[in-house]
Structures are given as C-alpha cells and as structure tokens.
Structure 1
Amino acid sequence: MSGAGETVRRHRFDGGDGHAQGPQAGDRLLASGGALPFLAAATLPPGCELVLLSGHTPPVIDASAPADSIAAYGDTFAQTDGTLGELQRSLRGLGLTMGDLVQLRVYVVGDPALGGRMDNEGFSRAYARWFGTPEQPRLVARTRVQVAGLVNPGWLVEIEAVAVA
C-alpha cells in the first residue's frame, strides 16, 4: 500500500454512544453474519493529493445475455463485487491500492426481483469482501443511495471514489 494512505486518520463509528448517524442496528451486522465495515470520517494529512475517480460500473459476466439486461451483469452482489474489481484495476493503473481509498459514493438501483427495493444484503456482502479484511484492513467513509436507474438498464450498481496519493 502507498505511504499516503498510511498517514490518513480513519475515524470509526464507536458503538454504544447513541450516535444516530452511520451504522444503524440493521447495518452493523449482515444478515448472513459478519460486520459491515465503514468509517464515520477520514482526516487527510496536509499536502496529500486527492484522486477523484469517476463512477465505475460492473463488467459483463454473461456475454450471451442482452447488453442492457441484469443477466449480463449479475445480481447486486455480483455487480458490486465486479465494480469494486474494476475500481481496483483503475487504482492499480494510478499506482494506488484499495487501501488508499478514503470515500465511496455508491448508487444502487432497486432490484426488480425484490419488488424494486435495493438489495442491501447483496451489496453489503460484496462490500465486506473488499474492506476491513485481514488482506485489506482499511475502511472508507461511505454513502449509499438507491436511485431510479443508471445509464445502462442492466446496471444495478455504480461506485465513485476518492483516494489519497
């Protein structure tokens, strides 16, 4: 991991303080088990460079499906995991790692299979594979919103990011 990411102060949500913002009871643990890791804030050191990454979208996982279908990109879990993989590729091209990320803005479309509700569990399971793990222990500040749609009707997820170089 790059040196700049190591000097970022990462402020966790502390449990038990009654803080109404951030991880709510339903967000603290995934229904499938495990913590949902993200930060209250990140403080950047003086003189650091911010890298603003454009929205990243999922790769095609089924080329036989129509290019504007959910089947071409997978469910919310697969799309989130694939989108984070695309983000990792972009970071590598800039000489950065996932550990250099400090903020994510996540746009999730309601899944027709869930009656138009976003698949929070699917998103969260994929997200937890990339952050707060033994391999990549750093966390990010994060916003997640449900949107009516994205440019491609088959996309359920788009993620934009901020990294520190």
Structure 2
Amino acid sequence: AAHAAEVIRHKIPNSDFPIAAAVEIPAGKATVYVSGKVPAVVDASAPKDSAAAYGDTKAQTVSVLNQIKQQLAALGLGMGDVVKMQVFLVGDPAMGGKMDFNGFMEGYRQFFGTKEQPNLPARSAFQIAALGNPLYR
C-alpha cells in the first residue's frame, strides 16, 4: 500500500524467515491497532461444535488473516501496512498438545513475504492455554 513505503523494515540478518527483526514508523504517521480476531466457520455443513467446522490451524489462520485484510481495506490500508503482529495459538490435541506452528506458517505465508506483498511485520507467536472456543487453534 502507499503507506508501507514510508516504513523502514529491518530484515533478520542471514535469514529468510518471513518476519522483520524490527520495523520503524516515521514520526507523525498514524498507527492503527486492530483488535484480535477469531476464525470463522469454514465448513457450515459440519456440526458447529466440531473441529471440522473451524478447520485446522492453517484454515483458521487464513480465516483470521482474511478478516484482518478486509478490516484494513475498509480503512484504506492493506496487509503491506501491517508492522506488528502478536499471534496466540492453542495446542492441537492431534499434535500432543503442541501448537501447529507449521500450519500457522502455511497460512501466514499466503499473506506476507509474497511476490505480490513482500512487506514483513515484526511478529511474536505464543502458545497459550486456551481461547474462548475450545475449537480455536
């Protein structure tokens, strides 16, 4: 987006991991904070209380990032304007209670570090005990 060119993004030295080591926003520029999002139902034919309704970690990541993309677009911004992300993942029972970081990254890489949208945010990812719905990953 037009705003993204005014931001300085510092790469992680000797790494191709798709996050920035640091991001600088020039003085006088507006900063927009987006509230947390939760995944939408991806399979309406599945029971609402089933894991299939919300999909795996990748599907949930894509759902959440699409919601953020839509909210930013309504503000005249795009995913290239994102400078910081905090990611909260719940352990997946199918993975022994560990977060599905690879599934998250598969979804994340569709939005950041692509040829169409190369800008990378500074990012932190955490495994937490739970979210509001036990099916959220």
Deviation at 1:125, TM superposition (A): 1.3
Cα distance in 1 between the residues matched to 2:50 and 2:72: 27
Mapped partners of 1:72, 1:116: distance in 2: 20
Q: Relative to 1, partners in 2 of residues 1:69 and 1:147: Cα closer, same or farther, differing over 3 Å?
A: farther
Aligned match for 1:79, one of 46, 53, 60: 60
From 117, 138, 141, the equivalent of 2:122 is 141
Q: 2:93 aligns with which of 112, 115, 123?
A: 112
Inter-partner Cα distance in structure 2 for 1:85 and 1:54 = 14
User: 3-state DSSP class of the match of 1:10?
Assistant: strand
| RMSD, aligned CA | 1.2
1:9 matched to 2:8: yes
TM-score by length of 2: 0.94
Structure 1 position 66 matched with structure 2 position 47: yes
**What is the TM-score of this pair, normalised by structure 1?**
0.79
Unaligned runs of 5+ in 1: 16-27, 29-34, 157-165
Residue identity over aligned pairs, in percent, reads 47
CA distance in 2, matches of 1:10, 1:36: 14
Structure 2 residue runs of 5 or longer lacking an equivalent are none
1-side partners of 2:48 and 2:91: how far apart?
19
* Paired AA for residue 66 in structure 2: G
